[in-house]
Amino acid sequence: MATRPGERKLQILQVLAEMLQDPKGDRITTAALAKRLDVSEAALYRHFASKAQMFEGLIEFIEGTLFGLANKISAEEPDGLKQVHSILGMMLSFAEKNPGMTRVLIGDALVNEDDRLQARINQLHDRLESTLKQSLRVAATASAAAGIRSEDAPKTDEHAAKANALLCYVVGRWHQFAKSGFKRKPTDQWERQWPLLL
């Protein structure tokens, strides 16, 4: 039975993501991927020019999912601090539901792969930080409109510092999850830690 166009490509990415869930974190070869799919390596290269392109496919999925959800949260939630809370919670939940993708997010799966892949993950982190910073600005604008004294309102550089600290928290939870063999869930203690992050 023939597969529809794009279906085999998606299947390759799904199996690659599954293989990345191995707690031992062994490097994935195209030979091992082909064996798992019960196809030849040549069959893989009919859909992807290189292994780097396969990882780029995973990164595109991650970007599309994370930023699609973050944009939805920002559009539907007017309160900036609630936006930040929801976006952070979404980032932690995404990793928990997608352990293999977590190894891509922290760069662990990209060691010894094409340098441009790590650069793309770094850009993704920068964009997530910018998204958090924008929500913090929304919160500050609301505080100003509510009549909070200007000396009590956060300064612009404080938004950048806080967004960076929040992203570092999330990336740290991702690392802990991956390095524990996916035992220490990113969402564990999240609601109790949120007030401490504020």
Q: What is the H or E stretch that residue 130 is in?
A: helix 115-145
Residue 193: is its pLDDT beyond 80? Answer: yes
Return the pLDDT at 146: 54
Q: Give me the mean pLDDT over the 180-196 stretch.
A: 94
| CA gap 135, 140 in Å, rounded | 9
Could you tell me if residue 9 is inside a domain? no
Return the pLDDT at 198: 79
Return the pLDDT at 23: 73
Could you tell me if residue 12 is inside a domain? no
| CA gap 64, 152 in Å, rounded | 37
| CA gap 109, 24 in Å, rounded | 11
Could you tell me if residue 157 is inside a domain? yes
Q: Which of 9-13, 82-86, 125-129 is the least confident region? A: 9-13
Count of structural domains, the chain: 1
Return the pLDDT at 142: 67
Return the pLDDT at 151: 47
CA 128 to chain centre: 8
Residue 104 sits in which domain range? 51-197
Could you tell me if residue 99 is inside a domain? yes
Q: Give me the mean pLDDT over the 26-41 stretch.
A: 88
Q: DSSP letters along 10-69, please?
A: HHHHHHHHHHTT-TT-PPPPHHHHHHHHTS-HHHHHTT-SSHHHHHHHHHHHHHHHHHHH
The structure's pTM equals: 0.86
User: 29: pLDDT confidence band, cut at 50, 70 and 90?
Assistant: confident
Could you tell me if residue 37 is inside a domain? no
Q: CA nearest 91: which of 122, 66, 61, 123?
A: 66
| CA gap 72, 85 in Å, rounded | 14
Could you tell me if residue 11 is inside a domain? no
Domain CATH number, residue 95: 1.10.357.10
Residue 129: is its pLDDT beyond 80? Answer: yes
User: 113: pLDDT confidence band, cut at 50, 70 and 90?
Assistant: confident
Q: CB 45: neighbour CB atoms within 10 A? A: 14
Phi/psi of residue 47, each to 5°?
Answer: -105, -30
Return the pLDDT at 82: 95
Could you tell me if residue 15 is inside a domain? no
Could you tell me if residue 143 is inside a domain? yes
**Tens digits of residue pLDDT in 141-157:** 866 555 544 444 445 56
